Amino acid sequence: MKVSVKVPATTANIGPGFDCFGMALPIYNTVTLEETVYPTNGLEINILGDQDEGISGFLIPTDKTNIVYKAVELLYNYTGQTPPALKINIQSNIPIAKGLGSSASVIVGGVLAANELLGNPADEDVLLSIANEVEGHPDNITPAMIGGFTLSSAEDDGSIIYKKLEWPDNWKLTICIPDYELATTISRSVLPENISLKDAAFNGKRCAMFIDALHTKDAELMKLALADRIHQPYRSRLVPGFNEIMTSLKDIDNVMGAVLSGAGPSILVISKNNSIESIKNNVKSVWEGLGIKADIRTVSVDTKGAVIL
């Protein structure tokens, strides 16, 4: 039996919502699991994709330390079983180490494909919990699985609490992907172990503004809501041109703001429809001046999440 699952990319944090806010984007990885009868070594993992997208820059394990296999193994263990001989194909179209949830997407793909192979013994709560155990935080896992914009929290018992909210149709997302990688481990290493009460309160206020801006479709409030003091002041130092890009976008009509996508280095710009070309030109101008090439795409939110093909 063979099962394939298509899973969207994600952008997380989105300003103030550190390890909480996440949103699915229409760029996709596909994970295929196939039970094999006569394996050579019991496990075969193939990484398929455009090497120019960064796959060659990272050594992706093709043994039992692979994150897809780890997720599959956890689900089999949940059912009291061990995985059979498997062939795992990962069709990688989401750029790696760009802040677009590439690891979350393949983890979700693996656990959903395994659940299908097993006859769907696990419900959504279990699947989210297992995927989060491998990934470590739910802000990418949750929208990758269910789509849309989500709030999520990993609880002490391992469960995931989430809420899916509607994103306004005319609020477009321009994702600016530079031609270099930034490993999440490096981006996390620059964060402080402790933050001040003042900064925590600031982000709490901005998160409240963000949710209200979504409900009321208030673009002016969203401009204020995208500010952050917990992670971007530290991570932005690892992204050349970030502050210049932020400054260059302030005077463009209908641009609500720009934020790091996940841990970076990609930048997410939120705007209304008619500002797209100005956004692209400004971002390209700053990065080209620094010798950085970029793939810039304007997209809508993926509302479906992971799909079994």
Q: Which helix (H) or strand (E) holds 96?
A: none
The domain boundary residue, chosen from 115, 137, 166: 166
- Which pLDDT does position 60 carry in this prediction? 81
For residue 40, the model assigns a pLDDT of 57
Q: Which of 20, 88, 5, 57 is nearest to 180 (CA)?
A: 57
pLDDT at position 185: 87
**Closest CA relative to residue 217, chosen from 249, 164, 256:** 256
Exposed e or buried b for every residue in 107-139, given b needs 16+ CB within 10 A? Answer: bbbbbbbbbbbbeeebeeebbbbbbbbbbebbb
The domain boundary, picked from 106, 138, 166, lies at 166
> What is the number of other CB atoms lying within 10 angstroms of the CB of residue 302?
22
User: Which residues in the chain show pLDDT less than 50?
Assistant: 51-57
Q: Cα–chain-centroid distance for residue 9?
A: 5
pLDDT at 38: 63
Residue 52 confidence (pLDDT): 40
Give yes or no: residues 7 and 36 share one domain. yes
The C-alpha angle 287, 290, 292, rounded to 5 degrees, equals 55
pLDDT at position 1 is 86
pLDDT value at residue 39 = 53
**Which pTM does this prediction carry?**
0.93
Domain around 192: 171-299
What is the per-residue pLDDT for 53?
41
Q: Are residues 62 and 210 in the same domain?
A: no
Domain shared by 137 and 106, yes or no: yes
If asked whether residues 153 and 191 sit together in one domain, one would say no
Looking at residue 50, what is its pLDDT? 57
Q: What's the confidence (pLDDT) of residue 126?
A: 97
With respect to residue 305, please indicate whether it lies within any of the assigned structural domains.
Answer: no
Cα separation of 74 and 131, whole Å? 9
How many domains are there within the chain?
Answer: 2
CB 175 within 8 Å of CB 296: yes
Amino acid at residue number 224: L
199: its two tokens: 């900064």
- Give the pLDDT confidence score for residue 197 in this predicted structure: 97
Smallest CA-to-CA distance from 102 within 165, 176, 184 is with 184
Compute the distance between CA of residue 137 and CA of residue 21 in angstroms, rounded to an integer. Answer: 11
How many C-beta atoms lie closer than 10 Å to residue 88's C-beta?
24
Strand, coil or helix: 256? strand
Residue 77 CB coordination number (10 Å): 12
State the DSSP code for 53.
G
Query: Same domain for 108 and 247?
Result: no
